[in-house]
């Protein structure tokens, strides 16, 4: 099933479900415009949209507040079933509604123009009659933006206007739709539309923040759905990945493109905040920011897929934001490249009452020495792909290598951003990687060679430290951190970087990880997490990559096939985690790291099948 290109299969006809007003996370789809992402439930309700940017306050937030949150739905007035798919190689969504009276098709897009993203947000929802006749209820209710505003509405000669603080929105309707009614008490706009065979209606929402709003015609909005679809398909067509699981690589690349913030080149970790890693737990974080680790992985994933423009934009953003903020190795930044604010806790219900809801992220001040490896390896791969770096970037990379040489012995929070500071094995291995790559770059004359002798000495000391302090003979595995026998799935990431010449200890480690942390083909992040959260999707793809890198290609393909079958149920979109028993999706969505890891896993398999060994040397 993994060898063809094209779209993932249409979902089966299904009756949408909600529990206490909340839709299952696996029943959401996402559309975007390079600046914001709208999350759409299976029942036709847009439950989340931060406008104009992914990290803005939400215009729709029913996703986190089933009772008071904002939404924008178009639903049949009678019982119905739903199926949907993305258009082939596109992020334009098509949904089919069926009732006993007929069938209708939605086409939904956050539109862009012929020259790229628009200077306003344009959410287009085309409704076409296929057979029979269906009456749809339409309702638009804006959020109170975390109770910071009280929306107000008015009709004027140009349309139904909604004011949400500084945000200005307008609902645009084709002429066949009844005029909106304004419910001032509920602060909502309502209308209806009825389809018949061959009919076409348009419901669109325009929005801008703190500036005048241009109001295009319904015909222009409708035409821009096709313009946007062409842009997505043209971008996907230019991806040069050819190999096993091509359709999954294309879909994951399109999902990553949704998270790429075009004004700066940053990539958001996810489009949402506060979706829990276990229902009812407090492990629910704000991922609408750009993580250095994710930026590095995105650059590598886009290089693998042949998206050169996006990889260069992300690399430029990464190096620029680090220089601007003093080379202090901040874990994450806002999409505009500023420091991420400390957490605040708005009084919002939370998804299925999972508290707290968070705005901001307290990982912003952590020290994670593993980022040295992320950045230096990313630069190494970028340069090895035939590209060059400027003098300022070369100086930055040398400075980071010197910092790594100085700081590698320090305890840190590790890749999992933990409060407990430890000598995490993954962090030590990543520091080894950083200095190894700096040495290679200097020998190839991309960095100043002055520091090579020192980098070499410290790299070898790191290796000695790991062998003496981070190996558990009883478990035949590298451990979570020095002095423990706990295991950590992030060590799977080290397979492809050449840390072990013969891979014997690495192979033993992967067997131990699989034995202790797996639930079927899914993996927990580290020892003890089975009691606190779901399985971390990226870890399962890391296992595929590790198997391919260490020579077990048949098992790698088998695991990859099982994973993609398991996770295909929601149009190829991935959350952060999944419950291994119920297969319920958990965590923020769409999750960039999950999609990045799928691309890496597919690429690892393809490289080995094409005669390589998938070890970066």
The secondary structure of the chain in percent helix, strand, coil, rounded to multiples of 5, reads 35, 25, 40
Phi, psi dihedral angles at 162 (to 5 degrees): -125, 130
- 16, 27 in Cβ contact below 8 A? yes
Positions of the chain with pLDDT lower than 70, given as ranges: 1-9, 327, 501-502, 569, 613-617
Quote the crossing angle between the two packed helices 452-469 and 391-407, to the nearest 10°: 40
* pLDDT for res 1: 33
SS (H, E, C) 570-597: HCCCCCCEECCCCCCEECCCCEHHHHHH
Structure-block tokens of residue 335: 């999409």
Strand pairing report for 152-156 and 159-164: antiparallel
Per-residue confidence (pLDDT) for residue 2, from 0 to 100 = 39
Q: How far apart are CA 188 and CA 337, in angstroms?
A: 35
Closest Cα partner for 576 from 543, 537, 548?
Answer: 537
The pLDDT assigned to 180 comes to 85
Radius of gyration of the chain (CA): 25
Report yes or no: 268 and 285 within 8 Å, Cβ to Cβ. no
Question: Structural domains in the chain?
Answer: 25-235 (2.70.98.50), 238-609 (1.50.10.10)
Exposed, middle or buried by CB within 10 Å (0-12, 13-18, 19+), for 242? exposed
H helical segments located in 238-307: 246-259, 292-305
Burial letters 3-41, b for 16+ CB under 10 A, else e:
eeeebbeebeeeebeeeeebbbbbbbbbbbbbbbbbbbb
Q: What angle do CA 225, 124, 272 make, to 5 degrees?
A: 110
Class of residue 67 by CB neighbours under 10 A (exposed 0-12, middle 13-18, buried 19+): exposed
Residue 35 CA: distances (Å) to CA of 21, 52, 208, 263, 541: 28, 7, 12, 7, 28
Backbone angles phi, psi at 173, to 5 degrees: -130, 145
What is the reported pLDDT for 116?
82
Give the residue among 333, 342, 349 at the shortest CA–CA distance from 274. Answer: 349
The region that residue 422 occupies, defined by phi over 0 for left and psi between -120 and 50 for alpha, beta otherwise, is beta
How many whole angstroms separate alpha carbon 487 and alpha carbon 492?
11
Contact 307, 239 (CB under 8 A): yes
At 296-344, the pLDDT tens digits run 998 888 888 888 888 898 899 999 998 888 767 799 999 999 999 999 9
- Give residue 499's pLDDT: 84
User: Is residue 424 classed as helix, strand or coil in its secondary structure?
Assistant: strand
- Residues 365/340, Cβ–Cβ less than 8 Å: no
**Assigned token pair, 67:** 């009772």
Query: Residue 608's pLDDT is what?
Result: 92
Nearest CA to 573 among 16, 54, 83, 25? 25
Please provide residue 582's backbone torsions phi and psi, each rounded to the nearest 5 degrees: -95, -15
Query: What are the b/e assignments for 117-148, b being 16+ CB within 10 Å?
Result: bbebbbbbbbbbbbeeebebebbbbbbbbbee
**102-110 and 121-141: which strand pairing?**
antiparallel
- CB contact set of 131 (below 8 Å; sequence gap of 6+): 102, 103, 197
């Amino acid at each position: 099933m993994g060898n063809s290109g094209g779209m993932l299969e249409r979902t089966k006809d299904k009756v949408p479900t909600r529990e206490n007003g909340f839709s299952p996370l696996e029943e959401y789809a996402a559309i975007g415009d390079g600046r914001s992402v709208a999350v759409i439930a299976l029942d036709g309700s847009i439950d989340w949209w931060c406008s104009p940017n992914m990290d803005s306050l939400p215009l729709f937030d029913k996703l986190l507040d089933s009772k008071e949150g904002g939404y924008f739905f178009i639903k049949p007035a009678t019982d119905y079933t739903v199926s949907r798919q993305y258009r082939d190689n596109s992020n334009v969504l098509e949904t089919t509604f069926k009732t006993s009276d007929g069938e209708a098709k939605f086409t939904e897009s956050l539109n862009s123009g012929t020259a790229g993203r628009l200077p306003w947000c344009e959410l287009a929802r085309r409704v076409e009659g296929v057979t029979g006749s269906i009456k749809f209820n339409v309702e638009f209710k804006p959020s109170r933006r975390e109770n910071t505003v009280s929306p107000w509405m008015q009709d004027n000669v140009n349309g139904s206007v909604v004011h949400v603080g500084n945000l200005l929105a307008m609902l645009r309707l084709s002429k066949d739709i009844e005029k909106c009614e304004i419910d001032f008490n509920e602060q909502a706009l309502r209308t209806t539309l009825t389809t018949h065979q061959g009919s076409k209606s348009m419901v669109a929402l325009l929005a801008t923040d703190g500036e005048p709003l241009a109001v295009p015609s319904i015909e222009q909005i409708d035409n821009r759905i096709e313009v946007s679809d062409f842009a997505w398909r043209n971008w996907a067509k230019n991806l040069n990945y050819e190999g096993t699981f091509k359709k999954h690589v294309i879909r994951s690349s399109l999902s990553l493109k949704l998270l790429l913030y075009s004004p700066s080149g940053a990539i958001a970790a996810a489009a949402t905040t506060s979706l829990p890693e276990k229902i009812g737990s407090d492990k629910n974080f704000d991922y609408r920011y750009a993580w250095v680790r994710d930026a590095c992985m995105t650059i590598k994933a886009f290089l693998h897929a042949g998206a050169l423009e996006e990889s260069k934009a992300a690399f430029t953003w990464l190096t620029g934001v680090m220089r601007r903020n003093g080379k202090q190795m901040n874990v994450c930044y806002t999409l505009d490249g500023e420091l991420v604010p400390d957490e605040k806790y708005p009084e919002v219900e939370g998804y299925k009452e999972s508290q707290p809801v968070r705005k901001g992220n307290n990982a912003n001040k952590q020290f994670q020495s593993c980022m040295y490896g992320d950045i230096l390896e990313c630069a190494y791969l970028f340069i090895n792909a035939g590209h060059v770096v400027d003098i300022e970037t070369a100086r930055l990379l040398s400075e980071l290598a010197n910092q790594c040489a100085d700081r590698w012995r320090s305890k840190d929070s590790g890749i999992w951003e933990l409060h407990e500071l430890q000598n995490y094995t993954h962090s030590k291995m990543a520091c080894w990687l950083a200095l190894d790559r700096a040495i290679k770059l200097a020998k190839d004359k991309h960095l100043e060679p002055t520091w090579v002798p020192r980098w070499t000495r410290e790299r070898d000391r790191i290796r000695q430290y790991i062998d003496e302090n981070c190996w558990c003979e009883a478990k035949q595995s590298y451990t979570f951190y020095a002095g423990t026998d706990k295991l950590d799935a992030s060590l799977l990431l080290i397979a492809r970087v050449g840390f072990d010449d013969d891979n014997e200890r690495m192979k033993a480690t992967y067997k131990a990880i699989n034995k202790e942390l797996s639930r079927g083909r899914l993996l927990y992040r580290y020892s003890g997490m089975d009691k606190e959260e779901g399985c971390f999707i990226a870890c399962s793809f890391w296992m595929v990559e590790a198997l391919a890198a260490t020579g077990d290609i048949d098992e790698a393909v088998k695991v990859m096939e099982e994973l993609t079958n398991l996770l295909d149920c929601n149009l190829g979109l991935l959350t952060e985690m999944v419950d291994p028993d119920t297969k319920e999706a958990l965590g923020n969505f769409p999750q960039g790291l999950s999609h990045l890891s799928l691309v890496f896993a597919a690429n690892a398999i393809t490289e080995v099948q094409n005669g390589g060994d998938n070890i970066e040397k």
